[in-house]
Structure 1
Amino acid sequence: MTGEQLESKTSKGTQNINKVIDNDNDNDNDDDKFQTEQVYDVEDEIQDWKFLNKSSIPKRGTKEFEPDGTNFQISALEQSQKTMFQAISNVRGHHATKKLIGIWIPTDQYCFIPQIRGNYFKDLGRAINIGRFQGMRLNSLETIYLAERGSLVVYLGNEEYCNWLYNTTDENDKDEDESVSFDVESKLVALDLEYLYSLLTISLPDYQVYAYLKRLGYIIQEYKVHDDDDVVTTSTSTKKSKPESVVNFTLWPREWGIMAYPFFHSQHFKTKHYFKYTDVFKNLKLNFKPIECSPTESNINITFNVWKPSPSFSKKTPPPPDFQLCVVDTSKNTDFLNLPQIQRLLFQLSPPQKPTKKIKSTNKMESKRDIRARRYAERQAKLDKQLQLKNEYYRLRDDCFKNGGQPVILAIVNNGIMNFISLSPGQFNSLQSVKSRLNEIYPEKMHSIIYNE
């Protein structure tokens, strides 16, 4: 092989190597470009809006992660983006037969609904008769809630509408006037949410809690403050106070910590032998007095009465509330409630009532909770009678130890962020709520946290 042939082969080899290196560099540049494209996640910006054009609920599918650069995924994202703009561009409206119209009466601060439509008024509003018209009266809370969720269109009533509404006529002219209707949409001005928020007669945190619980399905009514609630009474307030001039010298050593018992107490004149720990704990038990509280100057009161969802609820004769709630705004003052304020709230609670047993129809399917309760009752029925009473005793007593007395719910609102706290008086010694039933089961037993033998 000649030298010229070797040089030509080496030159061709170097050219091929350079081409490979250039191709690798181009691939590296392409990889860098592809890596930079992976940093930008398209799904974070463009959501799938295609389900809005369907009447049925979309089914869950496989989740797409980072873009893979395929034409199929790019076309799917473009189609979803077009669907998003189509969904946003649609005009939101009401059906002519289902449109609910309300007129805000500024002089009396309520919303009058002449024609009732929908199932919103089972627990909202109050029936009202104005002259020859019958309708529903909504307060500011109920008006803003229905308008905010898009179920009510509110118009501002003017002097012309009020004169037409409150005008009374003779019975002879009654038929002629009923045929004449007031054109609300052309003669009155529709109100926006900005104006409706200014109609609130209570604070914005109260409405936020109201709307939040209503969306969850709870039944809510405003708490009405009674005159008796302004006076806080205790068991010690009825006792006659002794005049300050009378001084009991025998109590001085006890106040100074010299003697645990007064001079003439029976413990000084007898000896006692303890054979059980129960007797020891009985003598160590503290005899406490109720803490006297006076009415505070703050306006801390119960705000709402809350009921669980119930199809048989009657707003005319409501049952005792399931929860009673107080809204506390901590956006300006972060201090927690003090003891007199908490006692004031506990005093305002409605007295608890025993729930009435409802006979359920056998046609309805039992829930899991009902099935568990039925199975538990069947297991208890197979036990001995004394064992059943013992289980009932410990269940009632431990429930009082755990949950305490009747609770009051605090809704802590801080710039729109809501937290709910349950406050209840502890029952570690008295157990007043179930004391009568515990005495029936074990009459001579102490129902407190002590060692019982």
Structure 2
Amino acid sequence: MDESLELPNAHARPLADSVQEDNEQSSDEEDGGLDWTKLLPAALRPVIPKRGEKEYEPRMAGGSNLQVHVLERSRAAMFETLKATRTTSSKVISYGIWYPDLSRVEATVARGIHFPSMGHSAPRSVMDEDGVEHLQKRLELLPEEAIYLIERGTMFCWKELGIRLEGLGGVPMTVQQAYSEMIGKEDLTLEKFQVYSYLKRLGYVVTRTRPPSEHYPIAAPFPLNTPHTSILGHLRRFIEGLAASLVGVFNRFDWWHPLRINRICLSNKTYGSLYRSIRFIHSGHSVPLNSSGPPPPSSPYQIFYNLYKPSTPFKKSNPPPPDFQIVVVNARTTPMPTLQELSDLFGVLPELPPPLPRQKRPANNAQEQSKPDEPAKAASPAPSPTTAEQSFLRRLFPWAFPTPLQATKEQKVNPFMALKAGKKMIIIAAVDSGNISFFRFSEGAFCEWPMA
């Protein structure tokens, strides 16, 4: 609280001080607490308030009457705002039935924008009016998906009572009942649901890594970074290997000459290969770890969620390879991952391509735009008979004509950026009493760069 409000005097403050104070108050509105008084009278639906300045500074001897009045007025405005009725349009309300024995929610009526990336189809046996059982596909939700929709107020869910009624009667499940019924089903913990809910609110598409049932869609495998090699390429490798073996015979007599001869024979004997040959300590992640103790118990560091960016074209029945994979742990009960646990995680992850260097814009780009349009180039000449014959042979024997690479300027990879990004990456979400922290662990390869 400003001292001038408690101890008034007759001295007028200069105009510069008042302007400076207004600027400080405007800057404090962004860094202070919530100003609930600006929300009176309360609207029909809650509105996120703007951050305002602090009501007062705490004092050792207690606050003044003005401080107590401002605090009580702000507290009353907060209660009035929180008492506002939460409304949702009936056009986006979905309806579902919770089956405890299946740990699934059947979406009888699916509405809204969430279902293109949530839920999966599963055949279940139902009984018709004549008492005959038959399979019928229906849309089912996992426990975390159902709790997320119930908590948002976009789904009314009823618990299955053992009999199938014509209509949905009774009172739907509350949020507290949904938490108590669904948390703990299908390996779902409170920490995993908090991570799921947080990522869904950010716009990501979140799915399970390990399918909980045979009907749950599995993400496509990661593409292998193996270049396509034609028959001519295999033949070239064979000739190079034969030449290297012949050169190795001459290397037995005089081992100084290969440094000069191998440049002609296309061998792999260079100074780098010589230094690697005398290395007596294995390097790289291909060497397995030496585990002398007993096998560890089941580790909590298991991949649980697949994460897709909001811009990823996602098909629910055939999901693409995930952009990220997330491990969820409880920070209060789980220690830091060991080297063996990280190695096990990296063992199931694909290798990422090195990051591309930044593209530098040419300095004369603006000058080229200011130039007038040049006349159109002359039309390309008609294809010759030889070219037509080559295209015909290419269609008949595509294996003999490998696709030529486009003549593009090769850009060198920045080794520091590649070492920072790593070859493999995993994200660990540590939840500490509701506070979620994301940690990225990467597997680098220092021995693969010339500087190593």
The TM-score range, normalised by the shorter chain, is 0.5 to 0.7
Q: How does 1:393-408 map to 2 (within 5 A)?
A: 393-395=412-414, 397-408=415-426
Q: 1:282 to 1:312 in 2, by over 3 A?
A: closer
In the alignment, structure 1 residue 309 sits paired with structure 2 residue 310:
yes
Per the TM alignment, residue 423 of structure 1 is displaced from its structure 2 partner at its CA by 1.6
Please tell me the residue identity of whatever aligns with 1:394: V
Q: 1:313 to 1:53 in 2, by over 3 A?
A: same
Query: Which residue matches 2:173?
Result: 190
Per the TM alignment, residue 328 of structure 1 is displaced from its structure 2 partner at its CA by 2.4
CA distance in 2, matches of 1:44, 1:62: 5
Per the TM alignment, residue 114 of structure 1 is displaced from its structure 2 partner at its CA by 0.5
Please tell me the residue identity of whatever aligns with 1:448: P
Question: What stretches of structure 1 of length at least 5 have no aligned partner?
Answer: 1-29, 33-42, 165-180, 227-265, 356-371, 431-446
Q: How does 1:73-222 map to 2 (within 5 A)?
A: 83-128=77-122, 131=126, 135-161=138-164, 164=165, 181-182=166-167, 184-186=168-170, 190-200=173-183, 201=185, 202=187, 203-222=189-208
Structure 1 residue matching 2:451: 3-state secondary structure = coil
Alignment deviations for residues 307-340 of structure 1 (CA, whole Å, 9 cap, x no partner): 1112631121111111111122231242x21222
Q: 1:218 to 1:74 in 2, by over 3 A?
A: same
Please tell me the residue identity of whatever aligns with 1:47: W
Q: How does 1:200-279 map to 2 (within 5 A)?
A: 200=183, 201=185, 202=187, 203-224=189-210
Check conservation: 1:219, 1:309, Cα contact below 8 A.
yes
Structure 1 residue matching 2:413: 3-state secondary structure = helix
Q: 1:100 to 1:268 in 2, by over 3 A?
A: same
Alignment deviations for residues 280-312 of structure 1 (CA, whole Å, 9 cap, x no partner): 766444362533247753233211111111263
Per the TM alignment, residue 268 of structure 1 is displaced from its structure 2 partner at its CA by 13
Q: How does 1:9-24 map to 2 (within 5 A)?
A: none
Check conservation: 1:296, 1:340, Cα contact below 8 A.
no
Please tell me the residue identity of whatever aligns with 1:425: E
Q: Which has the higher helix share?
A: 1
C-alpha RMSD of matched pairs (Å): 4.8
Please tell me the residue identity of whatever aligns with 2:86: R
Check conservation: 1:306, 1:323, Cα contact below 8 A.
yes
Structure ID, larger Rg: 1
CA distance in 2, matches of 1:185, 1:410: 43
CA distance in 1, matches of 2:337, 2:307: 21
Per the TM alignment, residue 80 of structure 1 is displaced from its structure 2 partner at its CA by 6.2
Check conservation: 1:50, 1:80, Cα contact below 8 A.
no
CA distance in 2, matches of 1:268, 1:205: 67
CA distance in 1, matches of 2:344, 2:193: 23
Question: What stretches of structure 2 of length at least 5 have no aligned partner?
Answer: 1-5, 9-31, 58-63, 129-135, 213-250, 261-268, 369-405
Per the TM alignment, residue 105 of structure 1 is displaced from its structure 2 partner at its CA by 0.8
Structure 2 residue matching 1:407: 3-state secondary structure = strand
Per the TM alignment, residue 209 of structure 1 is displaced from its structure 2 partner at its CA by 1.6
Query: Which residue matches 1:326?
Result: 327
Check conservation: 1:101, 1:113, Cα contact below 8 A.
yes
Q: 1:272 to 1:426 in 2, by over 3 A?
A: farther
TM-score relative to the length of structure 1: 0.55
Please tell me the residue identity of whatever aligns with 1:92: R
CA distance in 2, matches of 1:198, 1:422: 33
CA distance in 2, matches of 1:99, 1:185: 16
CA distance in 2, matches of 1:378, 1:296: 62
Q: How many equivalent residue pairs?
A: 309
Please tell me the residue identity of whatever aligns with 1:343: S
Per the TM alignment, residue 96 of structure 1 is displaced from its structure 2 partner at its CA by 3.9
